[in-house]
Each structure stands twice: as structure tokens, then as C-alpha cells.
Structure 1
Amino acid sequence: MDVLLLILGFICVILGVFGSFLPVLPGPGISWVGLAFLYFTKAVPANYWVLGIALLITVIISVLDYVIPAKGTKRYGGSSYGIWGTNIGLIVGILAPVPFGFIIGPFIGAFIGELIYDFKDHNRALKAATGSFVGFLASSFMKFVICVMYLGLFVWIVWDQV
């Protein structure tokens, strides 16, 4: 059973790293589940401090993941239409068979959303779309760093305990 939990935990942590860029997968959450699987084994003694702090970080990062792209859009002069366009574009970009659709989708979605809000001001729409893109990149990078840290923690604990 321990080997199965270790394998499942490692798979979850690796999926979490990929999920930090793919919005379909909640990267930090999946990585945290991988850490929890690790502590369910008999080979690794439970450390509730590590799990608790990692859970707190995961919750904070998950909340910031929604706030940062919206703040980026607002900071660059976007409206709620741009924020909705970002979210819709993200979903369409993931589902569309376009390379890097999850990056292109939010940008185009914010641009279209801002054009719906004010069709005459193309510069403002482009600026808001750029803010959405910058916010998406910032939140993805932040999630990636946390997920790689969880992967390193997982490997370190396994190396040390097993």
C-alpha cells in the first residue's frame, strides 16, 4: 500500500506542476494532495506542521490565482467586461485545438470583452488585454514556483525517510 501511495503522491505532485500552467488543473491543490498521500504512508511519519503550512500556502495561492489576472486587467485600464473576457477566453483557449491556446485565449478574450464595453477605444482594449496577459503570466509563474517547491519537498522527504 505504501508503494501505491508514493506513486499516487508523485503523480499528483507532477500533475500539479503541469497544472500550474493549465488552468483546468488546480496545480497547487493537486500538489498538496500529493504531499498528503506521502504522509499517509507508514514509511513517512506524519508532520502536520508541514501539511498545515503547505495547505495554507495552497489556499492563499489559489485565491491569488483569481485575483492577480483581474487586478492586472484593472491596473491596465480594463473593465469587468475585460475580466469576464479573460475568463471566457481562458476556457475557450483550453478547449480550442490551438497551440498555446491557454495563453492566447485570455488575451483575445480580454480584448474582445473590452471592445464589447467600448467599441471605439481600441488602444484601451489592447492595453487591458495586455494587463490580463501579464496578470496571467504572473499568477502562472507564482503557481509554478510553489508546485516545484512541493515537488522538491516531496522528493526530499522520500529521499530522507524511505
Structure 2
Amino acid sequence: MDILGWFIVIALFVIGMAGAIYPILPGVLAIYFALFVYGWFFSFADYTLWFWIIQTLILVVLFIADYAVNAWGVKKLGGSKASIWGSTIGLIIGPFVIPAFGLIIGPFLGALIGEMLTGSSPGKSLKVGMGSVLGLFSSVLVKVILQLAMIIIFFIWVF
């Protein structure tokens, strides 16, 4: 049973880290769920109140950052609400439409089209599209760092 428990925990950590890059995967929720799986298979005794406060705080920050950082990238370069919506839609649909590069092209095109629909010039729309890519890369970096922190804290607490 121990091997199965560790297999599931590690698999959820891997899914969580992949979710930092690929937004369709549950990312931080997979890592958070892994904490419960460990408790169910082994023991919740290793966890203290501070452990749960820290992990939950990181979870909340990640949920907020996931959307705020992408919107920040678009807004930073003068994007409108339409370009933020377009970028978000492109982020979700892009990987399905263009499997290899959709994760980058989707938000870019979404923000570009969204901004053009508001009547902005092609130059400004292109700039906003680049802002969405900047926001995407910033968001991925923040997610990778914070999700790694969750995993490291888990291993420090357990061992």
C-alpha cells in the first residue's frame, strides 16, 4: 500500500507541475490533493496547523496570480477588457487548435483580436498581444516557483 500511496502522491505532483505550464490541467489543485492523499495513505499527524495555513495561503495566491498576472501583462501595454477576455479565451482554446504552439499563439491572437475589435490600431493591438505573452510567461514562472515551494514544504514537513 505504501508504494501505491507514494505513486499517487508523486503522480499528482507531476500533474500539478505540468499544470503550471498547461492551463487545462488542475495544477495547484493536484498538488493540494496530493497532501490529502498522503494523509489518507500514511498519516495526517505530520501536518500541523501552520502547514495547512502555509499551503492554503499559497493555493489562494496561486489562484489569484493565475488570472491577475496574465491580465497585468495585457493591461501593462494598454490592453482593454476585450483583449483580456480574448487572451483568456485564447489561452484555453489555443492548445487544442494549434497543439504544438497554441499555448503561446492562442493568448497572443486572442488579445490581438480582442483589442482590434475595440477599434485600436494594428500597432497597438500587436503590442497588447505581446503583453499577453509576457503575462503568460510571468504567470508560468510564478506558478512554477510557488508550486515547487508547496512540494518542498511538503517534503520538509513529512521528513
**Which interval holds the TM-score relative to the shorter structure?**
0.7 to 0.9
Amino acid at match of 2:3: V
Higher mean C-alpha displacement, 15-24 vs 67-76:
67-76
> Contact 2:90/2:107 (CA < 8 Å) preserved in 1?
yes
Give the corresponding residue for 2:27: 27
- Structure 1 residue 155, shift from structure 2 partner: 4.6
> Contact 1:13/1:35 (CA < 8 Å) preserved in 2?
no
Q: CA RMSD in A?
A: 1.9
- Structure 1 residue 57, shift from structure 2 partner: 0.7
Give the corresponding residue for 2:108: 107
Higher mean C-alpha displacement, 10-19 vs 42-51:
42-51
**TM-score if structure 2 supplies the norm length?**
0.88
Give the corresponding residue for 1:90: 91
Give the corresponding residue for 1:14: 14
Higher mean C-alpha displacement, 88-97 vs 108-117:
88-97
Higher mean C-alpha displacement, 38-47 vs 141-150:
38-47
Structure 2 unaligned spans of 5+: none
- Residue 20 of structure 1: SS of its match in structure 2? helix
- Structure 1 residue 109, shift from structure 2 partner: 0.8
Partners of 2:89 and 2:42 lie apart in 1 by 44
Give the corresponding residue for 1:146: 146
Work out the number of aligned pairs and report it: 158
> Contact 1:28/1:146 (CA < 8 Å) preserved in 2?
no
Partner deviation per Cα, 1:5-34 (whole Å, 9 max, x = no partner): 322111111100000001101312211211
- Structure 1 residue 156, shift from structure 2 partner: 4.8
Structure 1 unaligned spans of 5+: none
Identical-pair percentage: 33
Amino acid at match of 1:92: I
Correspondence list, 1:18-57, <5 A: 18-42=18-42, 45-48=45-48, 49-57=50-58
Higher mean C-alpha displacement, 34-43 vs 56-65:
34-43
Amino acid at match of 2:124: R
> Contact 1:90/1:106 (CA < 8 Å) preserved in 2?
yes
Partners of 1:91 and 1:43 lie apart in 2 by 37
